[in-house]
Structure 1
Amino acid sequence: MKKEDGAMNLLEEVRRFRIVVALRGIPAEQMAAAAAALFDGGIRMLEVTFRQSSETAEEDAVRGIRSIRAAMGNKMKIGAGTVMTRSQVRAAAEAGAEYILAPNVDPEVLSECGKLGLPAVPGAFTPSEIAAAWKAGAALVKLFPCGVLGTEYVRAVTSPLDHIPLLGMGGINENNLTRFLSLPHMECVGIGSAIVKPLLIQERKYQELTALAKRYTSQLVPDEAGGEI
């Protein structure tokens, strides 16, 4: 797949499904069950996060991506998140990740994504960072941390950058979800522990995870929630 095709496909998917759920710090052996529970709650896009503080970050993320892919097939779109090195891009791609998210704009990471034809979603916060990420080849730009300064900041910062599609992440929850999704150029949002609560995972309360996911997807219009890939 050409880089441009991958970017366009990802953009179409995030516009359709509107929510990407980040799986961070979940044991690899629980990834598939968590993904299935989220799927039942209407979630169709996931991010398996590299925990950079862990000595086994790459190994754990690869195992997680592979286990979800084996269990869910092509029912869900699986990305890799907090990707910060070329090696991690390659490892994620080999494991089956379909897109790459990062907390920053790293030319090496973006270059490797380009070589492999993987859509890249680098993180940015200021207008300069957002513009630099887009110029460097982002499929869309992750505005992070999105919720810190609220919707007024997003409106202000994107006003002169209305050609750049955004994924908002950080501080978004069920109470402000629709406010962020209604913003111009906010194609989708990323949500982590607000949905994937550590205690639910620890206690394997997957039905509660499904119910929590539904509290988010029920706020989407019918065409955006729970469709088939």
Structure 2
Amino acid sequence: MEAGATYIITPGWDREIAKYVRSKDILLFPGVFSPGEIMQAASLGIETVKVFPAIDLGFGFIKNVRGPFPNMNFMAVGGVTKENIHEFKNAGYSSFAIGSDLVPRGASRKDVEKIKENAKAFVQSLEKEA
């Protein structure tokens, strides 16, 4: 935050960390895994939560939790690929965080063009299914 971060993504839910980050007026995307954690995030005014690992929870999970949390936005993290991103979107996720399918492990500056190609492929996959 002192270095100028405009948002923070946490690996899991921690109420005290969430309260602290929110008190600093920085956007927070806390990691959640259960309806209880989603409810706690909502009680602090958090509008978007990171569902991790999204691939392990399956597409039915997000469809089911959207019912009791219709105003919450869900970010899919963990297992999102060019081949399945449209399934995540159709299930009800509004945003995605993509790891090694976007930036290969061990990437360096010499991989910038490959990363750009990967990003374009993700966008094309979403546009194709729209």
Alignment TM-score > 0.5, same fold: yes
Aligned-pair identity in percent equals 28
Question: Relative to structure 1, is the Cα distance of residues 188 and 126 closer, same or farther in structure 2, using a 3 angstrom cutoff?
Answer: same
**Which runs of at least 4 in structure 1 moved beyond 3 Å after TM superposition?**
none
Counterpart-to-counterpart distance in 2, 1:116 and 1:197:
33
Q: Which amino acid aligns with 1:187?
A: S
- SS of 2:76's equivalent in the other structure is strand
Q: Counterparts of 2:108 and 2:25 in 1: how far apart (Å)?
A: 36
Q: Is the 8 A contact 2:83 2:125 kept in 1?
A: no
Normalising by structure 1, we get a TM-score of 0.51
Q: Does 1:145 align with 2:68?
A: no
Structure 1: segments with no counterpart, 5+ residues? 1-92, 222-229
Matched, 1:188 2:65: no
Distance, in Å, in 2 between the alignment partners of 1:161 and 1:111 is 20
Question: Quick check: 2:85–2:126 contact (8 Å CA) kept in 1?
Answer: no
Q: State which of 115, 121, 130 in structure 2 corresponds to 1:215.
A: 121
Name the CA distance, whole Å, in 2 between partners of 1:189 and 1:207.
21
Q: Which runs of 5+ in 2 are unaligned?
A: none
1:78-93 matched pairs, under 5 angstroms: 93=1
Contact preservation (8 Å) 1:121, 1:140: yes
Cα deviation for residue 175 of structure 1 reads: 0.7
The 5 Å alignment of 1:42-191 reads 93-184=1-92, 186-191=93-98
For the 8 Å contact 1:102–1:123, the answer to whether it is kept is yes
CA RMSD of aligned residues (A): 2.0
Shift of 1:214: 1.0
Contact 2:102 2:118 in 1 (8 A): yes
